[in-house]
Amino acid sequence: METDKIIGIIASVATAVSLLPQLIKLLKEKKSDNISYGMISILFVGLILWITYGVMKEDWIIVISNSVSLLLNILIVIFSIKYTKKTFV
């Protein structure tokens, strides 16, 4: 395998699992106090564009790694909404 492909795979895996610790923490603590929905929204746009770019270039490393990242981010949003403290006035 070529060196650039190996570097691409390692970078993709690292990027794809970078939010796994956040998801694990969220599931353990069941608190979503410090989640930035603005950051996640911008990240969603970027990931969707990377997936689109990967499909257009037929680069499945980009498609798969960014799809995993998108899935992890969707799970973070779902669980952060689920664990948001409800305050009633």
CA separation, residue 76 to residues 1, 15, 22, 58, 61 (Å): 34, 15, 8, 28, 23
What confidence category does residue 88 fall into, taking pLDDT thresholds of 50, 70 and 90? low
CATH fold of 3-82:
Monooxygenase (1.20.1280)
- Give the residue with greater pLDDT, 16 vs 72: 72
What are the extents of the domains in the chain? Answer: 3-82
pLDDT tens digit sequence for 37-74: 888 899 999 999 999 999 999 999 899 989 999 999 99
What's the whole-number mean pLDDT along residues 72-79?
91
* pLDDT confidence of residue 13: 85
pTM of the model: 0.80
